[in-house]
């Protein structure tokens, strides 16, 4: 048939993948003052006062609270920096990270 046209489609070589996101978790302890936890959450994670209070109280009551999600490197940097803010004042304040499902 003279009107038939063949179209070749070339499959892309590389697929664009979204980076896996990692959670930063705030862990409760019996020693760090509530107001200091709120200060750290505001400074390192740009939470407003209400958001920081809610995250702090959720960790206080339940043992742990998700603060935010980031790419792995950013999550680890922020968890380390926030933990270090407590360490400088001799508080056992702890932030950890874990990959999202």
Q: Which residues contact 60 (CB under 8 A, 6 or more apart)?
A: 28, 34
Among 23, 25, 28, 70, binds ligand TYC (CB under 6 A): 28
Angstrom distance (rounded) from CA 34 to CA 6: 69
* Choices 13-21, 28-36, 42-50, 71-79; region in contact with ligand TYC by CB under 6 A: 28-36
Which lies closer to ligand TYC via its Cβ, residue 40 or residue 70?
A: 40
Q: Where does this chain bind ligand TYC (CB under 6 A)?
A: 26-30, 32-34, 37, 56, 59-60, 93
């Amino acid at each position: 048939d003279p009107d038939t046209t063949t179209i070749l489609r070339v499959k892309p070589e590389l697929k664009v993948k979204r980076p896996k996101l990692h959670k930063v978790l705030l862990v409760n302890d019996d020693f760090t003052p509530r107001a200091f936890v709120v200060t750290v959450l505001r400074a390192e994670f740009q939470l407003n006062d209400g958001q920081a209070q809610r995250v702090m109280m959720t960790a206080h009551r339940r043992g742990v609270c998700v603060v935010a999600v980031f790419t792995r490197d950013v999550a680890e940097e922020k968890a380390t920096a926030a933990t270090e803010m407590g360490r400088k004042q001799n508080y056992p304040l702890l932030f950890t990270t874990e990959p999202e499902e």
